[in-house]
Amino acid sequence: MPKNKIQHRVPWKLGLFAANQAPRCHARRKYDGSRCQAPAVTNKRVCRIHGGASPGAPKGNQNALTTGLHTAKAKADRRAAKATIRQMNELVGLINSTI
Ligand SMILES: [Zn+2]
């Protein structure tokens, strides 16, 4: 029998096959940049070691605030500015196409 075929008569092999099909961690190792490859926590992209078990910082937490560049408000402001620039570029394109 080929090695990668599931042997249904052996229950633990079926469980092992299911475990091996679990989504993998997307984190990268610091020393060589390769993928972690550990099973990811359910409904998360990363394994328990790389933060999958953590719910994250509470909303509004300012314990590690330094520049404010990555706060939700700063990100929302940048998103709004980008949308405005995109609309202005579309307007410029419309004006240029009519001239
Ligand atoms: Zn990981």
Q: Quote the pTM value.
A: 0.51
Q: What is the whole-number distance in angstroms between the Cα of residue 34 and the centre of ligand 1? A: 11
**Mean pLDDT over each residue of the chain, to the nearest integer:** 89
Convert the pLDDT of each residue in 41-66 to its tens digit: 999 999 999 999 999 888 888 888 89
Gap from CA of 50 to ligand 1 centroid (Å)? 5
Calpha distance 97→92 (Å, rounded): 9
Q: Model confidence over 15-29: pLDDT tens digits?
A: 888 889 999 999 998
What pLDDT, in 10s, does the model give residues 66-84? 999 988 899 999 999 999 9
If you measure from the C-alpha of residue 4 to the centroid of ligand 1, how many angstroms do you get, rounded to a whole number? 25
82 Cα–ligand 1 center, Å: 33
Strand-pairing partners, residue 35, are 28
- Compute the distance from residue 25 Cα to the ligand 1 centre, in Å: 5
Hey, what's the torsion of the CAs at 31, 42, 76, 64, to 10 degrees? -50
Check the CA dihedral 42-46-48-54 and report its sign: negative
